[in-house]
C-alpha cells in the first residue's frame, strides 16, 4: 500500500504526446497544488506520480500510495480517515504518515459516495484545524477517463474533484502515441532479455507490423506481458510472431476474393513462378524442377505472363 521512491526515474518516448506529458510533469513538480492524472489502465500513472514526487521539493519525504479501490475492503477506512473531535489524534490516520511528502490516491474514481464524503470531510477538517492538525503533504491522484461520465451523472462529488485536480494531466494510451511503440517495445525487450540472461534478438518485420497494428487496450502493462511471453516461448536467439497472442497469419489467397477461377489460377501461377525464379536467381532449369514443369512449359508460361527473361 505504501511505497518509498528511490533511484532515477525516466518517462520514455519521443512522440509529441509523451513530450507534452514530460513538460506537464516538470511544471507540476515546481508547485505544490494537487495533481490529477487521467488515463487508461496500464498507462503507468503510478510511475508518473512517483516521478513528480521525485523531482519536487518533497522528494526527501515519503511517497504514500493508497489504492482507493481497496479502501473498505483490504484497507480499513477508519485507519485512513478517522479524526478525533478535537486535538491531535492518539493514533494518527494513515494519511499523516506522508507528512512532508506526497500522498498518491490511486483510482479515486473507485471511491464510493460514502468514501468520497469521508475524504472530503477529512480534508475539510484538516484545513480548518491547520494550526493543530495539518497533513503537510501534497496530493497526487489518478483516475480512468470514465471519471468524466461519473461527474456528469453526479456519481462523483464535483467539489472533491475540484479540490483534487488543480492540475490535470492526460496520460495518453499507447494507441495515441504509436510513434513510441517500436522504441518502447525494444526497450522492454532488452530489459527482459537481460533479466532472463538472453541476448536481445533482432525483431522480425512481422512482429513490428503486428505490434503497430494492435490497439493495446492494456497499454504498457499488456506490452510487458506480451513481450515476456514472446521472449520465453520463442526459439533461442530469435523472436517468432506466432507467439504474439493477437497475431494472425495473413491469408495468402485473400487478395483473390471475388476473382473468377481462370484469373485466380493465372495469378497463382505468376506468383509461384516469380518465387521459384527468385529462389534460384533466375535459373530456369532449377525453377522448372521445383515447379514440376518441363523447361519448355515454364518458358511458355513465362512468355504468357510477360516475364522479361522469357522474351
Pick the last residue of a domain from 172, 196, 228: 172
Q: Report the distance separating Cα 298 and Cα 79, nearest Å.
A: 83
- The pLDDT score that the predictor gives to residue 139 is 94
Classify residue 10: in a domain, yes or no.
Answer: no
Same-domain pairing of 137 and 227: no
Classify residue 122: in a domain, yes or no.
Answer: yes
Which domain does 139 fall in, by range?
Answer: 16-172
Q: Which tens digits make up the pLDDT trace of 83-127?
A: 655 555 455 667 778 888 999 999 999 999 999 998 998 888 777
How many CB atoms are closer than 10 A to CB 79?
13
Classify residue 5: in a domain, yes or no.
Answer: no
Q: Report the distance separating Cα 106 and Cα 109, nearest Å.
A: 9
- The pLDDT score that the predictor gives to residue 34 is 94
Same-domain pairing of 228 and 136: no
Same-domain pairing of 158 and 186: no
How many CB atoms are closer than 10 A to CB 21?
22
Same-domain pairing of 163 and 209: no
CATH number of the domain encompassing residue 85 = 3.40.50.300
Q: For residue 59, which of 69, 49, 46 has the smallest C-alpha distance?
A: 49
DSSP-assigned states of every residue in 223-268: HHHHHHHHHHHSPTT---GGGSTT-----TTGGGTT--HHHHHHHH
- What mean pLDDT value characterizes the chain? 86
pTM exceeds 0.85, yes or no: no
Same-domain pairing of 161 and 225: no
Pick the last residue of a domain from 141, 172, 203: 172
Place of cell 521472449: 231
Same-domain pairing of 148 and 276: no
CA–chain centroid gap for 263, Å, is 45
**Lookup: cell for 275:** 518465387
Instruction: Tell me the helix, strand and coil percentages in the chain, rounded to 5.
Output: 50, 10, 40
Same-domain pairing of 26 and 161: yes
State whether residue 299 is helix, strand or coil. Answer: helix
Question: Which residues in the chain come in under a pLDDT of 50?
Answer: 1-8, 89, 131-132, 311
Same-domain pairing of 115 and 165: yes
Classify residue 8: in a domain, yes or no.
Answer: no
Q: Report the distance separating Cα 212 and Cα 180, nearest Å.
A: 10
- The pLDDT score that the predictor gives to residue 2 is 27
Same-domain pairing of 209 and 161: no
Same-domain pairing of 121 and 234: no
Amino acid at each position: 500500500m505504501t511505497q518509498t521512491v528511490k533511484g532515477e526515474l525516466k518517462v520514455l518516448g519521443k512522440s509529441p504526446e509523451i513530450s507534452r506529458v514530460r513538460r506537464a510533469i516538470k511544471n507540476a513538480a515546481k508547485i505544490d497544488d494537487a495533481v490529477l492524472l487521467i488515463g487508461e489502465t496500464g498507462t503507468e500513472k503510478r510511475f508518473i506520480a512517483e516521478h513528480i514526487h521525485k523531482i519536487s521539493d518533497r522528494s526527501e519525504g515519503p511517497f504514500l500510495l493508497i489504492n482507493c479501490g481497496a479502501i473498505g475492503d483490504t484497507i480499513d477506512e477508519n485507519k485512513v480517515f478517522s479524526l478525533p473531535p478535537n486535538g491531535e489524534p492518539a493514533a494518527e490516520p494513515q494519511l499523516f504518515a506522508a507528512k512532508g511528502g506526497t500522498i498518491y490516491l490511486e483510482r479515486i474514481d473507485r471511491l464510493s459516495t460514502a468514501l468520497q464524503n469521508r475524504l472530503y470531510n477529512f480534508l475539510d477538517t484538516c484545513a480548518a484545524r491547520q494550526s493543530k492538525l495539518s497533513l503537510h503533504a501534497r496530493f497526487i491522484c489518478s483516475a480512468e477517463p470514465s471519471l468524466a461520465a461519473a461527474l456528469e451523472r453526479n456519481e462523483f462529488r464535483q467539489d472533491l474533484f475540484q479540490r483534487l485536480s488543480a492540475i490535470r494531466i492526460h496520460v495518453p494510451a499507447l494507441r495515441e502515441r504509436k510513434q513510441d511503440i517500436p522504441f518502447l517495445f525494444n526497450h522492454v525487450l532488452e530489459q527482459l532479455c537481460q533479466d532472463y540472461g538472453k541476448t536481445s534478438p533482432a525483431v522480425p518485420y512481422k512482429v513490428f507490423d503486428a505490434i503497430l497494428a494492435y490497439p493495446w487496450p492494456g497499454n504498457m502493462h499488456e506490452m510487458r506481458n506480451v513481450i515476456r511471453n514472446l521472449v520465453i516461448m520463442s526459439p533461442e536467439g530469435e523472436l517468432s510472431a506466432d507467439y504474439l497472442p493477437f497475431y494472425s497469419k495473413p491469408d495468402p489467397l485473400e487478395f483473390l476474393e471475388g476473382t473468377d477461377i481462370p484469373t485466380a489460377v493465372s495469378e497463382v501461377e505468376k506468383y509461384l513462378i516469380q518465387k521459384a525464379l527468385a529462389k534460384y536467381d533466375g535459373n530456369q532449369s532449377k525453377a522448372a524442377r521445383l515447379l514440376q514443369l518441363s523447361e519448355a512449359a515454364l518458358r511458355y508460361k513465362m512468355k504468357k505472363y510477360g516475364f522479361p527473361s522469357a522474351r
